[in-house]
Amino acid sequence: MYISPYVIGWISLVAAVLLTFFFPLGREHARHFISQLFIFVLFIVAAFILIPSAWLGSGAAVKSIIIGVIVGLIAVLYRDVRRFFRFFRGKVYRISHPYYWYERAFRRMWR
């Protein structure tokens, strides 16, 4: 069965937009990194397939990949900002907590 490249391009664009704006954010760093990588790749694939070469002139493939990289980076940055405001707003990193190894080492040095 043959799937048109334009269908793949539109599916990747819709999936990237849905993942960027509507997919729920998670606290786990590994899953968040994987979803960001997936969003980045989807935007590059969508830009490479959907932007006509007549619009970009010579070197259209490289220019469309650069456009996809820029849009993908903006989407990843937006998702990072959303995640920060959802999970880390108002959190204060406390260095004096006794479970941190460097606090225990610091206390041992000055005893």
Which of 61-65, 69-73, 105-109: highest mean pLDDT? 69-73
Check residue 102 and give its pLDDT: 62
Name the more confident of 73 and 29: 73
Q: What does the pLDDT look like over 93-105, one tens digit per residue? A: 655 555 666 666 6
What pLDDT is stored for residue 44 in this prediction?
94
Q: Determine the structural domain holding residue 20 and report its residue range.
A: 5-109
> What pLDDT does residue 12 have?
95
Count of structural domains, the chain: 1
Residue where the block lists tokens 């997919």: 23
pTM exceeds 0.75, yes or no:
no
